[in-house]
Amino acid sequence: MKSPFYTAEHDAFREMMRRFVEKEIAPFAHEWDESGEFPRPLYRKAAEIGLLGLGFPEEYGGIAADQFMKIVASQELARAGAGGISASLMSHTIGSPPIARAARPEVRARVLPQVLAGDKISALAITEPGGGSDVANLSTRARRDADHYVVSGEKTFITSGMRADYLTVAVRTGGEGAGGVSLLLIEGDTPGLSRTKLKKMGWWASDTATLHFDECRVPAGNLIGEEGQGFKIIMQNFNSERMGMAASCTAFARVCLDEAVAYARERQTFGKPLAQHQVIRHKIVDMAQKVAASQSMLEMLAWRLEEGESPVAEICMMKNQATQTMAFCASEAVQIFGGAGFMRGIKAERIYREVKVNAIGGGTEEIMKDLASRQMGL
């Protein structure tokens, strides 16, 4: 669809991203999903085209990028129809912004160039076995001991948790509530850190883990921001994460639409192409309508962010709009494929398995509604 928000620069980046996905990801997506991981060299290949550096400071190897460049990146990655690959390949987009924003200069200079070059992997560790989005009540403890923090506790459902070299971890350094939360950078080879791989409904190619911290000694200089300021930094991270998820989900919905249309045109039933049956045409129109509405809402929100606004309520609603559109289109696409849609190997089947992780991750649908209502003064 044509849009007034994209320039020639955006279009050129889109073409480069499309070639990258078609060459380096799409041919292997099914194989990598079945094997439960993708090759680590993919990070370096992504770095070479500037994908990993989007939006990060240029002094550390980053590339200036507006909201629309980020949408292009997310949506072109989605064309492979493999959310697990996108999630882990881009886990630094939630793990590293707190480092870029609030870590000490020497930490930024040491960590960010390695991550943005694809040599090291960054992940964010917030969720705990006893609670997900209730960040203010996390229980992983970090007590100060001279020039170190000693960390004990667990994090779970951590994307890139098995392979991450750098973990941005939410810990409790103070009393109860949001004011007692801080952020620490914990390196992957820290003694006392162990990891357990998790098996999932979808996102098979993304390594997901539970992290166990057993009296891990972390240099005090690895504190991100000030003590007790971690909650604020985490909240700042959420707008970007939710916009990225919304962009991806809208694109995954479009992938389902495109695959269903192609199949409906060639599949013969009752003596004519499936697409010539009115009920199928109506399904396709319903899918196209929802995708177009979601994309339009996404781009208007991106424009508002570029204008300096912080429309938290609308971003929460956008995430729900996009995940609901993805769920609808994935379901309808599998239905149009019929029995073939139940077989592994097509994009729609893979995306169908990935619907729920998007509706849960980054804040559940219910939490998004509650947060939006509060922002609206209700």
Contacts for 235 with CB less than 8 Å, ≥ 6 apart: none
Our CA angle for 43, 46, 47, nearest 5°, is 85
Lowest mean pLDDT among 191-195, 210-214, 234-238, 353-357: 234-238
Active-site annotation holder among 241, 299, 332, 354:
241
Would residue 369 be called left, alpha or beta, if left means φ above 0 and alpha means ψ between -120 and 50 degrees? alpha
pTM (2 d.p.): 0.95
What is the greatest pairwise CA distance in the chain? 79
Query: Would you give the DSSP letter of residue 162?
Result: T
Q: How confident is residue 136, by pLDDT bands cut at 50, 70 and 90?
A: confident
Alpha-carbon distance of 348 to 370, in angstroms, equals 31
pLDDT digits (tens, 9 = 90+) for 42-98: 999 999 999 999 999 999 999 999 999 999 999 999 999 999 999 999 999 999 999
What pLDDT is attached to residue 130? 84
**Residue showing tokens 């240099």:** 219
The CA-atom distances, in angstroms, between 159 and each of 126, 173, 374 are 11, 24, 29
| In the predicted structure, residue 131 carries a pLDDT above the cut 80 | no
pLDDT at position 134, please?
80
The answer to whether residues 154 and 146 touch, using CB atoms and an 8 Å cutoff, is no
Question: What pLDDT score was predicted for residue 238?
Answer: 87
- For tokens 């099914």, the residue is 30
pLDDT band at 148 (very low <50, low <70, confident <90, very high): very high
Rounded to whole angstroms, how far apart are CA atoms 203 and 162?
Answer: 14
Q: How far apart are CA 368 and CA 314, in angstroms?
A: 10
Strand, coil or helix: what is 311?
Answer: coil
For residues 321 and 297, the answer to whether their CB atoms sit within 8 Å is yes
pLDDT in tens, 217-259: 999 999 999 999 999 999 888 889 999 999 999 999 999 999 9
Amino acid residing at 308: G
What percent of the chain clears pLDDT 70, i.e. is strictly above it? 99
241 is catalytic: yes
Please state, in angstroms and rounded to a whole number, the distance separating the CA atoms of residues 122 and 94. 8
Task: Tell me the mean pLDDT in the region 292-301.
Answer: 98
Q: What is the pLDDT of residues 336-367, one digit of tens each?
A: 999 999 999 999 999 999 999 999 999 999 99
Q: CA 179, CA 181: separation in Å to the nearest integer?
A: 6
Confidence check: pLDDT of 132 > 80: no
* Average of per-residue pLDDT values in the chain: 96
pLDDT at position 248: 98
**Interval 266-273 mean pLDDT:** 94
Q: What is the pLDDT of residue 135?
A: 87
User: 59: which 2 tokens?
Assistant: 């002094």
Tokens read off for 330: 């994935």
What are residue 169's DSSP bridge partners?
125, 184
Residues paired with residue 217 on neighbouring β-strands, in sequence order: 150
